[in-house]
A and B are shown apart, each in its own frame.
Chain A
Amino acid sequence: MSTPATAEVLSASPPAAARVRARARWRRRLDALLASTPATVGLAIVLAWVVLGILAPVVAPYPPNANDLGALARPTPSTAHWLGTDQLGRDLLSRILWGARPVLVIAPLAVLGAAALGSLLGLSAGYHGRWISLVITRACDIVLSFPVIILYMIILAHFGSSAWNIIGVLTLTKAPIIARIVRGMTLDLREREYVAAAKMRGESALYIMFVEILPNARGPLLVDMCLRTGYNIVIIGVLGFLGIGLPPPDPDWGGMVKDTYGMMTVWPHMSLFPCAAISSLVVGFNLLAVGLREIGLRD
């Protein structure tokens, strides 16, 4: 039945061609992203921090925990210490660079965890309706109704404060928000005709949820994940500030502010530089989210 022309097209199509097409698709997406000013700026800030974090052992002028007792007399910025030192004579620039590493691992991991859990909950709640939806939405409401800071303090005080535990609490508290977004979109998408078509060929509920519905929710989901990474960075800072963040002595931006904010009037640079680091990264992620939303709107 198939003509020679058909056979030719088909023989040319498998893996190599598919790879070329996939690459072209990514190329197009990147072009679209770079066409938006906020996205370009956001991407530049985030990428700069990622590169600096990765290269911290190379570019940081000092080990993060090394004290320079000589600098204690004049801890302000100097040629030896570009951003000055903290109250223990540790080089601020080095600590800030090293401090980017845990943040850039914990915040995205926590968002991925929240997105995975939230999508699963949101899809189930939106697709099944009735009591499953009721149980999930109520459970989410309960988590969301807690004052989060107190929740963090209780959990981290009980289980101890470690990177994994922080990822855990962030996942737990952010998942309900993502679940809500995904549920809302699922309620809309499940009425689409392609979902009816999938039912008519006997697809399982899991297939419909993850293959038919979720990919079409990815645009807004991606924007939200980007925003939420920024929020997570703020929260990690807050946890550090409250003393329930990453354990000392390794550098942690929030912890650095906590240790020095008492000396704000004398040596403001000690707390302001870590604060600036946090803000810039958060702004970077927010701008990236704005850019992603623009692209989503245009498609």
Chain B
Amino acid sequence: MTEPVLDVQHLAVAYATRAGEVPVIPDLSFQLNAGEALGLVGESGCGKSTVALSIMRYLGRGGRITGGRIVFEGRDLGELDERALRSIRGRRIAMVYQDPMASLNPVMTVGRQLVEVPMIHDGVARAAARARALAMLREVKIADAEAVMERYPHQLSGGQQQRIVIAMALIAEPALLIMDEPTTGLDVTVEAAVLDLVRELRRRRDTAILFISHNLGSVVRVCDRVGVMYRGEIVEEGTVRHIFTNPRHPYTRGLLDCLPTLGRDKRRVPLVPIPGQVEPLSERTLGCGFASRCGYVEAGRCTSRPIPMAALEREAGHHVACLRLHELPRWRPRRSAVTTLDTDASADPMIAVHHLTKVYEPRRRRRRYGLPRPPVRALADVTVDAGRRQTLAIVGESGCGKSTLAKVLSGLEVATAGEVKLDGVEVGAVRVEARSRALRRTLQMVFQNPDSTLNPSHTVGYAIGRALRRLHDRAPSDAAADVARLLEVVKLAPAMASRMPRQLSGGEKQRVAIARALAGDPAVIVADEPVSALDVSVQAAVINLLNEIQAARGATLVFISHDLAVVRYLADHVAVMYLGTVAEFGRVDRVFAPPYHPYTEALLSAVPVLDPDQDAARIILEGPVPRAHEIPRGCPFATRCPRRVGQICDDVPPPVQQLGADHRIACHIPAEELRRLQTATVAEAGAR
């Protein structure tokens, strides 16, 4: 057997804090062979990135390796001095970080940065280095590599930037590539393309990859083996197939059960959040780290001694750190057949948006310098309805106008043209300041960013109490009781009222924001990406909460998201948006079944499928999203559409095909043709 490229043996890492040294990783071991990809998954704060930084010896001032060995190509990295490390970093071990813009130097052209790498590491002459850079760019599938070499990082899209960073990491032909959340900031379709690239590069080269991600779906696509981390320990390790078809550790199961996938629907299979939250690392106890959140915990047994890693007999290489390993029932993926609905949004709409257009005019002053800036069309002829007591989901990639639509609904922006009716009242041109109290009560919003949704200077109680006072006429005496009642609705302890936002976790902040929105008992709740910044387990809890509240209060929920799986789970109706237009709108079961709009089809194929056996028909969208002022005259999707039929797509706006009362697609291809093409692709994929 050949020696592994990376052999981490009993690694222990601690961070110095004001309260003393906290062991972040107590005892971690794993091996990585040449050409192999190991995924490390887990919630935030479980030590994934610390592992990566320890291997690079980049822990910084606070962190310290307190024990164990990191053997890389036969040498213990822990014993090397700065000089020796420099000869390894970048040349033998390369790292790709989450934010490509932070890895690229903004004042140097991409080409210079790329050429530098072989020149410094291998002492290659400039011309030869340039040739290698060009070849590498082609390998990471950058079209027009020559031109891209001359550009600055900010002139490239996020997906291109990340490809450049990957190229830069691979150009020195490292033995080990560490990728820390490489696709987290990217749009779904771009993410799919980058993951595809990594998978392909791995097959072609002999590089070992350590792939760190909180996203189980991306791990399935890229890795051979997976290590599930919890509180600094690997609790389960095995091949992708082991982990995703036969997970044995309760934490792994919890992660899989709380993940919305395309097969899940709120009516059939609810998401199961992992109870509680990751406990602080400073309070490490003797037994199983997961015991406090585990549904299978056995008092005394699980908490009295360290849990050893046990191998499974029938599955080679599958190790689990759980005492009750053989006592747990077999895990089954929760999946449901697609349910049919019999609801109609247009029959009794709570929200009716008709031919809404929003154009941002550039500031006049700028015209003095150079050419006038063109106006930006954020929304063009958008028509959607949301029925009473229903959930309308708006889905699309960044820049598709979904947040602008939310802002127009809430009055933070006003419509340029078209109708926006809220319970029969026209509100499109009414700014929120000009809205009546009753109207403001009708519609409230939940925002995206948990860190800025609550005022850091106000207590939770003040935030909710103030909303109650403004939206509900409450005498001050019973305000405290009302705050407590609202906190209970969002499943927080009433004592939370005296906390400051910085004392709360992201999920708790988002719950408080929901409680605040509920203060006026709104008929409509607009939630703009409320869970996209949260960990999967917390995300499941917040989604369930929104769903429950909506059902219990009979409110209409407008749910904005880029995550199709979440949308599939939560929505009654879906609007798929692209560049300010609605590509497809309809009942959720119809939108998620053929015929699809080609854009919906592409989005769906980009959604990670948690099944290592299923190699679904994959559509990778090429090219960047056009800039707002370069939108094609015809179909906005024409520049990237894999099913483009011809010149007509560029020149003529697509007709809206009404398929039944509750489903419409804006495409030149007749719906029947789309259905035929798309069912054929699926069958073909099934046959493979």
Contacts and interface: CB of A to CB of B under 8 A. Distances in A.
Interface residues of B, number: 39
Contact of B480 (A10, A196, A197, A199): A10
Contacts of B498: 13, 17-18, 21
B112 interface: no
Contacts of B454: 194
A6 interface: yes
Interface in B150-183: none
Nearest to A298: B18
A256 B467 CA distance: 58
A266 B453 CA distance: 67
Contacts, number: 84
A70 interface: no
A216 B456 contact: yes
B531 interface: no
A9 B447 CA distance: 29
A194 B453 CA distance: 5
Given A202-B437, A202-B440, A196 B484 contact: no
Contacts of B467: 197, 201
Contacts of A202: 432-433, 435, 437, 440, 470-471
B481 A2 contact: yes
A1 interface: yes
A9 B484 contact: yes
Contacts of B449: 193
Contact of B484 (A6, A197, A203): A6
Nearest to B434: A202
B647 interface: no
Q: Chain B's interface: helix, strand, loop or mixed, by majority?
A: helix
Contacts of B440: 200-202
A270 B412 CA distance: 65
A162 B502 CA distance: 47
A199 B516 contact: no
B435 A196 contact: no
Residue among B448, B494, B498 with most chain A CB within 10 A? B494
A269 B654 CA distance: 90
A200 B437 CA distance: 10
Contact of B444 (A2, A194, A200): A200
Contacts of A5: 494
B457 A6 contact: no
A218 B455 CA distance: 13
A61 B278 CA distance: 65
Contacts of A192: 452, 455
A215 interface: yes
Given A194-B455, A201-B440, A201-B470, A10 B484 contact: yes
A7 B478 CA distance: 11
Contact of B448 (A193, A200, A216, A218): A193
Interface string A1-44: 11001110110011001100100000000000000000000000
A196 B457 contact: no
B10 interface: no
Residue among A1, A197, A215 with most chain B CB within 10 A? A197
Nearest to A10: B480
A21 B448 CA distance: 30
Interface of A: 1-2, 5-7, 9-10, 13-14, 17-18, 21, 192-194, 196-197, 199-203, 212, 215-216, 218, 299
8 contacts: A6-B481, A6-B484, A9-B484, A196-B445, A197-B445, A200-B412, A200-B445, A201-B466
Given A13-B498, A201-B440, 11 more contacts: A1-B485, A6-B481, A6-B488, A6-B494, A10-B480, A10-B494, A13-B497, A193-B452, A200-B445, A202-B440, A215-B458
> 5 tightest CB-CB pairs across the interface, nearest first?
A215-B457, A193-B447, A201-B470, A194-B455, A192-B452
